[in-house]
Amino acid sequence: MIPAHFGIWHRLGARLLQVSSWLVLLFLILPILVIVPLSFNIEPFFSFTEGMLRLQPEAYSLRWYQAIFDDPKWILAIQNSFFIGFFATLIATVLGTCAAVGLARDDMPLRRLITALLLSPMIVPLIITAAGMFFFYSELGLAGSYLGVILAHAALGTPFVIITVTATLTGFDYSLARAAVNLGATPLRVFFDIIMPLIRPGVISGALFAFITSFDEVVVILFMAGPQQRTIPRQMFSGLREQINPSILAIATLLILVSIALLITIELLRRRAARLRGSEADVPPAATS
């Protein structure tokens, strides 16, 4: 990559770039990886014991994992996270996909304004959203209910669905759909047989985004949900505030596994989308699916 005639300074510069880049990569990844071994600490601390550093097996244990599965609060939190996440994702994906299909059409009126409005849940700070929802949903009697939390999380997830689905729709030729209509296809069939196969990767990755948004959300939960709707991040938040306890590290390790699974899924989807559109080369990597 570095031509030979660039000389020592260039090579030094390139080496410097390489070293600093790796340092930044380590800064990104190390804090997350550090959690994993600490979660097997037999002591109730957040730091490495001498025994751990010497790799003595008796310094390690699964007691914090056991503690999670023995604690009904954690069990409830895990159930809640998946339950709320599932329904929020369902609503966000259906509404978001539908809207993205409309927004992608050339004849969409007020497109810019509507896009900005529909994407705003992603931009407005969560503390403002949460405060507003607390006032409004309390008046409707929806605060402290599953329905309220699900609706709130669905609203927060829709922008991601719009973005990912829109990305798969760019360049879509609507004359295909029009031709199908002219040949007598019902709009529903057009949607499922022509549009859907094309946008499916976008829909699925949008759904994953919506899910992780709900799964990771804690501010709205803090303000609006009751003890009954406690989720994993909410339980972690109070754990970190009150009694710092390594079972949080155990659940964090489990969550890291969840994010690895999501990352792999997204990457597979990206490859699939690229294949569908013909060539791998003109699709940027996962970063910009």
Partner 1 sequence: MARSLTTGFSAFALSAALAMTSFGAHAAESLTVVSWGGAYGAAQKNHMIDPFQKDTGVKVLFEDYSGGVAEMKAQVESGNIQWDVVDLEVIDLERACSEGLLETIPHDILPAGADGTPAADDFIPEALASECAVGNIVWSVVFAYNEKTIGGTKASSIGDFFDTQKIPGKRAMRKRPQVNMEWALLADGVAPAEVYEVLATAEGQARAFAKLDTLKNDIVWFDSWSQAPQLLNDGGAVLVQSANGRFYDAIRQEGKPFVIVWDGHVYDLDAWAVLKGSPKKDLAFKFIAYVTESKPLAGMSDVAYGPTRKSSAPMMDPAAAPHLPTAHLDKGIQAGSDFWADYGESLGEKFNEWLLK
Partner 2 sequence: MSTLTTSEASQAAGARRKKRLNAFIFVVPLLLFILLTFVAPIGSMLWRSVHHPIVAELIPLTLAELQHWDGQQIPDQKTLTLFASELHGLAKRRLSGKLAEEINRSYAGMSSAVKSSARKIGRLKPEQLPSQGAETLLKAHRNWSKPELWYAIQRAGQVYTYDYYLTALDLELHPDQGIQVREDTQIYLQLYGKTLNMALVITLLCALLGYPLAYYLANLPENRANLLLVLVLLPFWTSLLVRTTAWIALLQTNGVINSFLLSAGLIGRPFEMLYTSFATVVAMTHILLPFMILPLYSVMRGIDASYLRAAMSLGAKPIPAFVRIYFPMTLPGLSAGALLVFIISVGYYITPALVGGTDGQMISNIIAFHMQRSSNWELAAALGSLLLALILLLYWLYDRYVGASNIKLG
User: How many other β-carbons are positioned within 10 Å of the β-carbon of residue 191?
Assistant: 17
Nearer Cβ to partner 2 (65/137): 137
Binding of residue 105 to partner 2 (CB under 8 A):
yes
Residue of 82, 90, 146, 216 interacting with partner 2 (CB under 8 A): 216
Please give the C-alpha separations between residue 221 and each of 42, 52, 138, 180, 269, in angstroms, as whole numbers.
32, 36, 13, 45, 30
CB of 185 to partner 2, least distance (A): 15
In the complex, least distance from residue 110 CB atom to partner 1, rounded to whole angstroms: 31
Q: Is 20 in the site for partner 1 (CB under 8 A)?
A: no
Q: Does 20 bind partner 2 (CB under 8 A)?
A: yes
> How far is it, in rounded angstroms, from Cα 177 to Cα 27?
48
* Structure-token pair, residue 155: 């609203």
How many residues make contact with partner 1 (CB under 8 A)?
Answer: 28
Q: Does 107 bind partner 2 (CB under 8 A)?
A: yes
Question: In the structure encoding, which two tokens stand for residue 123, read together?
Answer: 């931009």
Angle 243-132-216 from CA coordinates, rounded to 5°: 45
- Write each residue from 138 to 157 as x if it is in contact with partner 1 (CB under 8 A), else as -, in one continuous string: xx-x-xx-x-----------
Stretch that binds partner 1, among 58-66, 102-110, 116-124, 196-204 (CB under 8 A): 196-204
Rule CB under 8 A: say whether 118 interacts with partner 2. Answer: yes
Of 115 and 229, nearer to partner 2 (C-beta) is 115
Rounded Cα distance, 98 and 118, in Å = 12
90 C-beta neighbours (distance < 10 Å), count: 16
CA 207 to CA 167: how far, in whole Å?
A: 14
> Which H or E run contains 207?
helix 196-216
Residues lying near partner 1 in the complex (CB under 8 A) are found at 45, 79, 83, 86-87, 90, 134-135, 137-139, 141, 143-144, 146, 192-193, 196-197, 200, 226-228, 238, 241-244
